[in-house]
Amino acid sequence: MRIAITAIVFLVLISAHSTHARDISYSLGTGFGLRSFDVTQTTDIANSDTLTTLNADYFSINLNAAAAIDNFFTRLEYETSLQDDTTFSDSEGRDPRFSPVEIGRDDYTFTLGWYAWQNLSVSMGYKYGDSRGKSFGEGVDSNNGEFIDSIRTTQFIQSGPFLGVGYNIIFDELGVLSLSYAYALFEGQYSEEGNTFIRDIPDANDPDTLTRLARGDLVNEGSSHGNSISIAWQGRINQLAAYFVQFRYQDYNYDTNMDINISAYTLNNGQLIHVDQSVETGKSNYHEQISGVYFGLNWYL
């Protein structure tokens, strides 16, 4: 919401001074992308390390609005996954076939920039990113012959300011090659909520055989930092429209101390009875890499 309000105020100020501006322009754009999402998560709980990796590929849609006056410009951008992709995580000591994960992501970005020298620009802005996942697991506990299945939802939110630099290389009437780099200092929040269902065998698929339930949740907040690079080509179709092709790479890293709240329940006459409450502490590192190729159109108003 703060991003949208800032962008609207800036656009209003531009419009209010447009009669005095020598050069003012507006544009709207949309694009489709294929993104690759790679996550490596390392957790250390009770001196036991777990390394989890996953990869997902999904299509996304990108919407943007921009305005420029003299040497200043602003841009508001929104991107979302069109459909959450289902992939498989690979966790040490666990069969990856038992860990399908649905992955999705939303990004909101506001940028304010200035062409400081010819085609060289500097910029600052604010970014909000939301990565979400839902995992499913099932298997048999060989120690006691019980069937175990679980559902876990995770969310990783990053928000904060960034600084960037860009350079445009103009190829006469053919188009413009744009190179840019940004570094961000984010506040990060990682949250997780999971349910583990334990049933007797051989009637593992019968809900009435549920014997125990364990619930765990955690919310951790801390600092996050990341880098982003972009290479884009834009060519004019006519005076009112242009096409673009872009490659973008983002790399974010997040470290935190974690507290996991675990509640245990047992089944008694069809009712879940709370029997235990515990807290586990540990450390976690969340490394997220996102790359994407985009194709789209910009319209000049």
Q: 273-288 pLDDT, tens per residue?
A: 666 666 667 777 788 8
Q: Establish if 73 belongs to a structural domain.
A: no
Q: The whole model's pTM is what?
A: 0.76
Instruction: Report d(CA 242, CA 276) in Å as an integer.
Output: 62
pLDDT at 18: 47
Q: Is the pLDDT of residue 207 over 60?
A: no
Q: Establish if 111 belongs to a structural domain.
A: no
Secondary element (H or E) of residue 12? helix 2-16
Q: Establish if 204 belongs to a structural domain.
A: yes
Q: Establish if 280 belongs to a structural domain.
A: yes
Q: Establish if 69 belongs to a structural domain.
A: no
Q: Which domain holds residue 187?
A: 31-58+79-106+116-300
What is the count of structural domains for the chain?
Answer: 1
Q: Establish if 290 belongs to a structural domain.
A: yes
Show the beta-strand stretches assigned E in 142-209: 146-171, 175-200
Q: Establish if 17 belongs to a structural domain.
A: no
pLDDT at 141: 54
Q: Which two tokens stand for residue 120?
A: 């060289």
Instruction: Report d(CA 58, CA 118) in Å as an integer.
Output: 37
Kindly report the CA angle at 236 between 234 and 237, in degrees rounded to 5? Answer: 125
User: What mean pLDDT is reported for the chain?
Assistant: 77
